[in-house]
Structure 1
Amino acid sequence: MLSAMPSTAASLSARERLIATAAELLATGGLRSVTARALADLTGQSASAVNYHFAGREGLLAATFEAAAERVAHMRAAWAASLRAGPPPEAFASWFAAFNLQRVAAAPPFLVLREMRHDAARSPAHRGLARHELEASDAFWRQATAAFQLPPGAAEACADFAEAILGIHGGPPDHPDQTAWLIESVNRHCARLRGARGATSGWDGWRQLARSRAGLIDRVEAPPAGGAGRIAAAAAEVLGRDGLAGLTHRAVAAEVGLSLAAVSGAFPSRVSLVRAAFDHLIASIHTVRGGVVPDPGDRRPIAELAQEMAEALFDAEGAAPAGLLALDELLSAAIREPDLRRDAEDLRASRGENSAVLLLRMSHATDPVDGLDAHILSIVATGAMRSAYALEPEMRRAWLATRITASITALFG
């Protein structure tokens, strides 16, 4: 929990205190938590200080995003320096694991940048900053993968894996096995890039353990029936369109066409409304997965499958489906809200089921694929989708198809 910051802090100016506090609020509560009242309470400054120093909330957010990007740039520079001696290719897995573990441990600046990407998905306000950060990330990964002599496409696969992994394993771990699960995923990802899939375990044990530990294999609850079900579906739609900040009883009532009293009667608190939205999404995605059966005779080139995936993730205007945006909100919120951890665990442990269907439809692969491979592809595709938020909407689908083609080719081609 945040505590009030004394206004006499000698090490920071008033402007710097506002940026530091906004960053902490973004990392712990998301965009909706950055309010004039919260900033005034925590910094001891007046409510008008944001306007005085930044000409408004958007100016403060831009300065906070820039400060986080600068911190991340310093971290990348330190990691790039470790490559100057020309590391052996076989050291890549340990280097990549250490990098991702540091990202998870040093989460706040990365969480701030993730909020920037979420905002860029729906609003152009900070899209330029998000695009600059995407370019900086890609440049770093081109340098790193070249140093380890990895194949073309490895930079894209690594950039998007690292982008997504924070939303899967970031924040305080639910269980000690989260680190083991991350390392198992990293090892397979790196083995695939080095063409050494046969040298790694096919166990996929930590993901399966997570599912069995919480009873998630058998726990797919039916969505509520009647009016409550309609309200939950409307809440999920609002969540995907407007984010957590826009998920209010009034907004859901307008979406579903019911009175405010009817929505509040079904779900009295905001927490219960958020959980209803998430439960609806989780039940819906399990229903879709359960009905997908790959056709063994349907084999397609990688580029064609990547295009199909891009079309599923972005429509012709570059908008992502509300359900996918809402699921992304769930993973972010679960880092901050313990009541949602179980829902996030379900999503983590179920990740990759649709990707398994896609892999089975590939026209060729260097080795047989399994559930852990599908989990890896799902991570990379999620990261690519988040990266695409930085682009103008009309560019997203084509860019994503090219990006996923490069990553799948490097990993499985």
Structure 2
Amino acid sequence: MQSNAASFSARDRLIATASELLATGGLRSVTARALAELTGQSASAVNYHFAGREGLLAATFEAAATQAAEYRGAWASSLAAAPPREAFSGWYAAVILQRVAAAPAFLVLREMRHDAARSSAHRGLARRELEASDAFWRQAVAAFQLPPGAAEACADFAEAILGIHGGAPDYPDQTAWLIETVHRHCARLGGARGPTRGWDGWRQLARARSGLAERAEARLAGGAGRIAAAAAEVLGREGLAGLTHRAVAAEVGLSLAAVSGAFPTRAGLVRAAFDHLIASIHTVRSGVVPDPGVRRPIAELAVEMAEALFDADGAAPPGLLALDELLTAAIREPDLRRDAEDLRASRGENSATLLLRMNHATDPVDGLDAHILSIVATGAMRSAYALEPSARRAWLAKRLTTSLAALFG
């Protein structure tokens, strides 16, 4: 029989190792073999300490939530001095940059929210994490004397930014782009309407130099395009764990040999899904097409966005889930990071049209505003994963109404 100290140490090592695997490889990487190899424990250790893999995942998600709470607590302590409103932009940028740099715990929680989109296993913890995050941002917004609705916009922006800018930004322009976006976001929350600081230059530069859309279309000529579309569909529906040659073959209606011949490796399937989304970037968006020339209330458009992001059963469109999965993969796999740049830079194509049709006081709006709207909508969608499917649409519509009014109303 192991001593309590030894038992705790072994249990702790399993949680730490599972956290690393989740952050670097996602749910599919947390296997008995990988845990045994990395911890030096037997394959039965997970059953002994956690009564199975689900118990280990629950404990790992709880540990990540505790780390996130400590992170928020450290930043909340800086609010005790009642900082001036003008200091919000600098404080907020520091919070976001440190959150990005301290990515592992948040990537684990991101994996938990992904799982909550499709499974109820960890949805309760996802809901508690959402509530804790919202409480932190309400405290911050109150301390800086910002409008109450800014809390939701901050919470959802912070939730989405990891996937959009790819973990710790690994190129100088990515950091500059992130800071530029944060400053515009803060300006809008602070009440700036009309022309304001920020030129949308880094996003435009990323699009101009990537050339990925043209290369993606060339790689998808002929039957490869059908297979890539099927790979994206499977990825959105089943996640990275379900993206196999057999699943893609069944989806596209081809033989396993045909799919394996076109894309021999699993990494090739992931890249094919990337190519499909890059080539069709102008259609893989919120799905909202406002009436041309008609200005409409924010609340009406928020309802339409919620209906586009979740169907009547509370399921998200496979294309959007696939986009999210691929941006997460780009955080973990360096050779995909530049591929993801075009996906990041193209965010907001439909959002720009949406802003032009919105009744708001922010005239004129530009591509950077549209990028921010897309980020906030993505974060709100991920937050809604924590709810039961039947409640997602209504909750999201209310959430977006509040956030968009704080930013552009």
Using the size of structure 1 for normalisation, the TM-score is 0.93
* Residue of structure 2 aligned with 1:281, choices 277, 281, 286: 277
Structure 1 residues 194-243: Cα deviation after superposition (integer angstroms, max 9, x where no partner): 11245742411111222223235866626724432221111111100110
RMSD over equivalenced CA pairs, Å = 2.1
**Structure 2 counterpart of 1:342:** 338
* Residue of structure 1 aligned with 2:76, choices 65, 80, 97: 80
**Structure 2 counterpart of 1:324:** 320
Offset at residue 338 of structure 1 (A): 1.9
Offset at residue 351 of structure 1 (A): 1.2
**Structure 1 counterpart of 2:237:** 241
Residues in 1 aligned to 2:274 and 2:187: alpha-carbon distance in whole angstroms? 34
Amino acid of the structure 2 residue aligned with 1:101 = L
Amino acid of the structure 1 residue aligned with 2:130 = L
Is contact 1:239-1:246 (8 Å) kept? yes
Matches within 5 A, 1:143-222: 143-197=139-193, 200-215=196-211, 221=217
Residues in 1 aligned to 2:307 and 2:102: alpha-carbon distance in whole angstroms? 34
Amino acid of the structure 1 residue aligned with 2:188 = R
Residues in 2 aligned to 1:15 and 1:311: alpha-carbon distance in whole angstroms? 43
Is contact 1:202-1:370 (8 Å) kept? no
Offset at residue 257 of structure 1 (A): 1.9
Q: How has the CA–CA distance of structure 1 residues 77 and 11 changed in structure 2, closer, same or farther, with 3 Å as cutoff?
A: farther
Is contact 1:211-1:217 (8 Å) kept? no
Offset at residue 262 of structure 1 (A): 1.1
Residues in 1 aligned to 2:33 and 2:379: alpha-carbon distance in whole angstroms? 34
**Structure 2 counterpart of 1:3:** none
**Structure 2 counterpart of 1:4:** none
Matches within 5 A, 1:6-17: 13-17=9-13
Q: How has the CA–CA distance of structure 1 residues 218 and 373 changed in structure 2, closer, same or farther, with 3 Å as cutoff?
A: farther
Q: How has the CA–CA distance of structure 1 residues 310 and 129 changed in structure 2, closer, same or farther, with 3 Å as cutoff?
A: same
**Structure 2 counterpart of 1:141:** 137
Amino acid of the structure 2 residue aligned with 1:69 = A
Residues in 2 aligned to 1:385 and 1:75: alpha-carbon distance in whole angstroms? 23
Residues in 1 aligned to 2:18 and 2:60: alpha-carbon distance in whole angstroms? 7
Residues in 2 aligned to 1:353 and 1:10: alpha-carbon distance in whole angstroms? 55
Residues in 2 aligned to 1:72 and 1:210: alpha-carbon distance in whole angstroms? 31
Offset at residue 144 of structure 1 (A): 0.6
Offset at residue 159 of structure 1 (A): 0.1
Residues in 2 aligned to 1:23 and 1:286: alpha-carbon distance in whole angstroms? 35
Residues in 1 aligned to 2:200 and 2:88: alpha-carbon distance in whole angstroms? 21
Is contact 1:294-1:360 (8 Å) kept? no
Q: How has the CA–CA distance of structure 1 residues 394 and 110 changed in structure 2, closer, same or farther, with 3 Å as cutoff?
A: same
Deviates further, 319-328 or 163-172: 163-172
* Count of residue pairs the alignment pairs up: 404
Amino acid of the structure 2 residue aligned with 1:71 = Q
Is contact 1:310-1:400 (8 Å) kept? yes
Residues in 1 aligned to 2:290 and 2:394: alpha-carbon distance in whole angstroms? 25
Amino acid of the structure 2 residue aligned with 1:21 = T
* Residue of structure 2 aligned with 1:271, choices 255, 267, 272: 267
Structure 1 residues 25-61: Cα deviation after superposition (integer angstroms, max 9, x where no partner): 1011111110000000000000000000000000000
Structure 1 residues 139-165: Cα deviation after superposition (integer angstroms, max 9, x where no partner): 111111011111131000000000001
Is contact 2:351-2:370 (8 Å) kept? yes
* Residue of structure 1 aligned with 2:22, choices 17, 22, 26: 26
Amino acid of the structure 2 residue aligned with 1:305 = L
Structure 1 residues 250-274: Cα deviation after superposition (integer angstroms, max 9, x where no partner): 1111212221111111111111111
Amino acid of the structure 1 residue aligned with 2:406 = A
Q: How has the CA–CA distance of structure 1 residues 219 and 92 changed in structure 2, closer, same or farther, with 3 Å as cutoff?
A: farther
Is contact 1:223-1:283 (8 Å) kept? no
- Identity over aligned residues, as a percent? 86
Residues in 2 aligned to 1:203 and 1:29: alpha-carbon distance in whole angstroms? 36
Amino acid of the structure 2 residue aligned with 1:13 = S
Is contact 2:282-2:349 (8 Å) kept? no
**Structure 2 counterpart of 1:56:** 52
Aligned-partner SS, 1:13: helix
Residues in 1 aligned to 2:292 and 2:269: alpha-carbon distance in whole angstroms? 42
Residues in 1 aligned to 2:249 and 2:195: alpha-carbon distance in whole angstroms? 55
Residues in 1 aligned to 2:167 and 2:261: alpha-carbon distance in whole angstroms? 33
Offset at residue 20 of structure 1 (A): 0.2
Using the size of structure 2 for normalisation, the TM-score is 0.94
Aligned-partner SS, 2:249: helix
Residues in 2 aligned to 1:270 and 1:219: alpha-carbon distance in whole angstroms? 20
Deviates further, 224-233 or 183-192: 224-233
**Unmatched tracts of structure 1, length 5 or more:** 1-8
Residues in 2 aligned to 1:223 and 1:335: alpha-carbon distance in whole angstroms? 23
- Please tell me whether residue 312 in structure 1 is matched to residue 296 in structure 2: no
Structure 1 residues 272-325: Cα deviation after superposition (integer angstroms, max 9, x where no partner): 111111211221223567x99875521110000011111110001000000000
Residues in 2 aligned to 1:134 and 1:29: alpha-carbon distance in whole angstroms? 23
* Residue of structure 2 aligned with 1:365, choices 357, 361, 364: 361
Structure 1 residues 42-84: Cα deviation after superposition (integer angstroms, max 9, x where no partner): 0000000000000000000000000000011011111111101
Residues in 1 aligned to 2:292 and 2:162: alpha-carbon distance in whole angstroms? 35
